[in-house]
Amino acid sequence: EPEVTQTPSHQVTQMGQEVILRCVPISNHLYFYWYRQILGQKVEFLVSFYNNEISEKSEIFDDQFSVERPDGSNFTLKIRSTKLEDSAMYFCASTPRLNNEQFFGPGTRLTVL
Amino acid sequence: AQTVTQSQPEMSVQEAETVTLSCTYDTSESDYYLFWYKQPPSRQMILVIRQEAYKQQNATENRFSVNFQKAAKSFSLKISDSQLGDAAMYFCAFDMDSNYQLIWGAGTKLIIKP
């Protein structure tokens, strides 16, 4: 069964460093998402992406964040200068159409020291 | 703005018993979608069940069913014949029609007692 994959599973970085989190959505899906979940807290929407552009983003998704779909398969989230409060689990999701089930990857645990 | 509230931070149930997790939401929209996702200790997010607001019939998926009360803006999840593998965090989520994001509740931790 097709699934969303994410790499790495765990990323440790120093404050101020740039990180790139990678996702491979399910191949025939058209809508892509990033969410984050700070430990013990609720899941928060970051950004959605459709037709090679951002369709919606939250207040969290400021100028430090960017997304890209550099080829036909990868979907990346870049944090330019990480802060301690960026430490969280980051989930990628994809869906073939709006309002459908979103299929989630296993997440990347980001730890900023 | 849409909000989702899960008032039970933690619930426990005896194995083989039935448990109901509550969820309420606030919206002025009439067309929307509601979801229950399960997050086991592996932290993978797994869809449990989905409900379309325009459907009056409550969604069911094997041992999982919902009680969708549109007027009351309530969307509870019933788990019948609870199994040890049901132990997880359960999140209620809301998706407005033509919207691009899921809005999440705070989650309920479900403990299954053997």
pLDDT at A14: 97
Which site among B32, B39, B47, B101 would you substitute to test the A interface, given the most A Cβ atoms closer than 10 Å to its Cβ? B101
Per-residue three-class SS string for B39-94: ECCCCCCEEEEEEECCCCCCCEECCEEEEEECCCCEEEEEECCCCHHHCEEEEEEE
pLDDT at B2: 81
Residues from chain B that touch A44, judged by Cβ atoms under 8 A, are 104
Q: What is the pLDDT of residues A14-61, one digit of tens each?
A: 999 999 999 999 998 999 999 999 988 889 999 999 999 999 999 999
Average pLDDT across chain A, whole number = 93
Say whether pLDDT at A6 is over 70: yes
Distance from CA of A43 to the nearest CA of B (A): 6
pLDDT band at residue A100 under the 50/70/90 scheme: confident
pLDDT band at residue B98 under the 50/70/90 scheme: low
A48/B101 Cβ within 8 A: yes
pLDDT at B96: 81
Query: Is A107 in CB contact (< 8 Å) with chain B?
Result: yes
Residues from chain B that touch A42, judged by Cβ atoms under 8 A, are 91, 104-107
Find the farthest-apart pair of alpha carbons in chain B and give their distance in angstroms, rounded: 43
Q: Apex CA B54: angle with CA B53 and CA B58, to 5°?
A: 65
Distance from CA of B50 to the nearest CA of A (A): 8
Find out whether A93 and A4 touch, Cβ atoms under 8 Å: yes
- How many Å apart are CA A92 and CA B79, to the nearest integer? 27
A31/B102 Cβ within 8 A: no
Residues from chain A that touch B106, judged by Cβ atoms under 8 A, are 41-42
Q: Average the pLDDT over A85-112 and give the result.
A: 93
- Using CB atoms and an 8 Å cut-off, which of residues 49-108 of chain B contact chain A? 50, 91, 93, 95, 97-107
Structure tokens at B109: 């931790």
A101/B47 Cβ within 8 A: yes
Average pLDDT across chain B, whole number = 93
Q: What is the pLDDT of residues B9-44, one digit of tens each?
A: 999 999 999 999 999 999 988 889 999 999 998 888
Q: What is the pLDDT of residues A14-26, one digit of tens each?
A: 999 999 999 999 9
Distance from CA of A80 to the nearest CA of B (A): 23
Query: Is A42 in CB contact (< 8 Å) with chain B?
Result: yes
Query: Is B109 in CB contact (< 8 Å) with chain A?
Result: no
Measure the N-to-C terminal CA separation of chain A; round to a whole number of Å.
Answer: 37
